[in-house]
Each structure stands twice: as structure tokens, then as C-alpha cells.
Amino acid sequence: PPINIPENSNGPFPLKMVTLLAHADVEDPMEIIINVIDMNDNKPIFEQTSYVAEVAESSPKGTTVIQVKATDADEPGNDNSILKYMILSQEPKLPSDSMFAINSFNGAIMVEGVGLDREKYPEYTLEIQAADTKGEGLTGKTKVTLNVTDSNDNPPVFTASTYQGSVDENAVGVQVVKMSVTDEDEPNTPAWNANFKIIRGDPDKLFSIETGSNKQEGIIKTAKVRKQRRSDLVFKLNKFCFVLKVKFGTHQKYRGCVLKLSFTLITTGVYWHVANDTIHIMMYPNNAPETIFHDFFRVWLAKSFV
């Protein structure tokens, strides 16, 4: 049978077995097979001393971020080379100390916790360990840096609750009002760039709106000569809808303003200059008798305008 000798043993190792009798071999030489038994003398080594990856702040639980890998020079297939992975530490430990998990067999790092927020915690550092003997033996370590990338999780906010402008009725391409917004998402990314659009209430296309060069302002302009004395505008900024509906009435009667707000109150008053007469628009509080839930506008028209 084979002779088993531990790895790194100093011997002696039999090369040939003979019996000496009168200085002669009694039998022919015999081949001896020696199996060297593996010892756990090699620790796991990661393929990289450090890793860098990105994780979107909107990533759900179970999202794989990166996979790390270590190797072990001991004999393949036995306990000395079977590795298990684990996370030793996470910095910062916010909003919890278990924001990430690792597959103990293949080294895949996944999102585990809820609350990734680039604005609060833009970077995480993980210390990863690989241990042989199924996690009980020699160890190797590496560092993983996870950069949290921005998602569109912050709505744009207008810097004022009321905007007003004035323009001649026959002016075309003239700026009426400029509306600025702020956004807590990462600057100069698609999630931060504002997109303004008139989506309803201007069937004659009297106005146009465009995004300013700094991507954080909307500019309303006259698109063509005004042919009717009515303003009914609805502005949409990304996914938020702001409604201002003003119908011009006579100077004897007032018309209310219907405001449908899904997030932030935005009101726009436009003063049209018409043949030396001006339409005056004023906002009244919710306690006025003509309204039930919302503030409304009263409109005065000069007789020459009616």
C-alpha cells in the first residue's frame, strides 16, 4: 500500500527496501508510492487588494453590487481550500449596520438594508474576509468601496409660491415670467435637470415655456399675438402638476380661480396691456365667500376692455 507522509515533513523517505544477506539482495527492488498529505499552510488571497463599485440609491433589496473572489493554493477540493466569505465591518453604520450582505460561497455583495441615500451617505466602505477550512481556518482580507449613485428621488421645489409678469398683447417671443426651482438630486445629472412643459389649458398656444440654460429655471414667453382675453394655464415640472385657472369676467362680476395642487402651490399672474387698459389680478385667501377650499383670484376689467 502507499506510504502517507505529511507535507513539509523532513523524512526519512524510503527509496528502496532491501534485505542484506551476505552483501546481496534477497529479492528484487520494489517500487514504493508515497502520497504527500496537504497541510493548511496557504491562506486565501483576494484577486484585488481593494475593490470599487457603484450602487444606485434606489436599488431594492437583493440587488447584486459586485462580486469579490479569493483563491487558496492548498490542494483543490479539500477543506484547506474551501473558502467562505463574510463582511467584517461597514462604515458608516447608517442608517443601519447591515446595509449589505455577502454570499458566503461565491463572494457576491448584495443590497440588504433599506435607506440608501446619496445625499446623506454617498459612500460605504466594507471590509471583507475570506477564510479557508470552510470559514474556520486561515484568512485573507480586502476592502470594498461602494459609491452611492443618484436616483431621481427628490422632487423639484419652486423658490417662490407666486410669480407675476406683464406683457403687451401683440408681443411675440417676449419673456413673461421666469420661474426658478431647486432640486436636491446630484447637480448636472438627468435627475437634477428640470423639464418644464405646458400640458393643458392653452389651446391657442399663446404661451411657450422653455428650460433655462442653468437647467433650474422655466421661462414663459408669448408664442403668438393674443386673440382672446382669457388665461388658463397648467404647468408641469417633471412629474408634478401645478394648475392655475383664471377666467376673466366683467368688472361687475368676479370669477374664482381653481387650484389643483399635487405638491407645491404655483400661481402665475399675467398682466396684459391692452389699449392703455390693464387687467388687474389679485389673489384672495381661503376665507373669501366665493371659495370653498382654495385661494382664488379676482379680476377687474376696464369698460373699454369688455
Residues 6+ apart with CB under 8 A from 214: none
Q: Which of 119, 149, 179 delimits the end of a domain?
A: 149
The helix (H) or strand (E) run that includes residue 132 is helix 132-135
Residues 113 and 198 in one domain: no
Residues 239 and 201 in one domain: yes
> Has residue 188 been placed in a domain?
yes
User: According to the model, what pLDDT value does residue 60 have?
Assistant: 94
Structural domain span for residue 59: 45-149
User: According to the model, what pLDDT value does residue 188 have?
Assistant: 86
Residues 143 and 220 in one domain: no
> Has residue 27 been placed in a domain?
no
Q: Is the pLDDT of residue 203 over 90?
A: no
pLDDT band, very low/low/confident/very high, at 55 (cuts 50, 70, 90): very high
pLDDT band, very low/low/confident/very high, at 30 (cuts 50, 70, 90): low
Q: Is the pLDDT of residue 131 over 80?
A: yes
Integer Cα distance of 156 and 193 in angstroms:
9
* Residue 129 cell numbers, joined: 474576509
Residues 166 and 295 in one domain: yes
Q: What is the mean pLDDT of the chain?
A: 73
Residues 65 and 174 in one domain: no
Predicted TM-score (pTM) of this structure: 0.58
Residues 129 and 175 in one domain: no
Lowest mean pLDDT among 67-81, 95-109, 255-269: 255-269
User: According to the model, what pLDDT value does residue 170 have?
Assistant: 74
Give the CA dihedral 184, 152, 260, 202, nearest 10 degrees.
100
For 39-48, what is each residue's pLDDT tens digit?
A: 888 999 999 9
Integer Cα distance of 245 and 43 in angstroms:
73
For 205-222, what is each residue's pLDDT tens digit?
A: 888 888 888 888 888 888
Residues 144 and 174 in one domain: no
Residues 176 and 292 in one domain: yes
> Has residue 26 been placed in a domain?
no
Q: Is 227 exposed, middle or buried (0-12, 13-18, 19+ CB in 10 A)?
A: exposed
Residues 59 and 122 in one domain: yes
**CB of 27 closer than 8 Å to CB of 19:** yes
> Has residue 23 been placed in a domain?
no
For 132-151, what is each residue's pLDDT tens digit?
A: 998 889 999 999 999 999 88
For 184-198, what is each residue's pLDDT tens digit?
A: 888 888 888 888 877
> Has residue 49 been placed in a domain?
yes
Q: Which of 149, 166, 181 delimits the end of a domain?
A: 149
Residues 163 and 71 in one domain: no
Number of structural domains in the chain: 2
> Has residue 19 been placed in a domain?
no
- Return the SS3 of 251: coil
Q: Which of 120, 149, 178 delimits the end of a domain?
A: 149
Residues 138 and 58 in one domain: yes
CATH number, residue 81: 2.60.40.60
- Specify the higher pLDDT residue, 188 or 18: 188
Q: Is the pLDDT of residue 109 over 50?
A: yes
**CB of 165 closer than 8 Å to CB of 176:** yes
> Has residue 40 been placed in a domain?
no
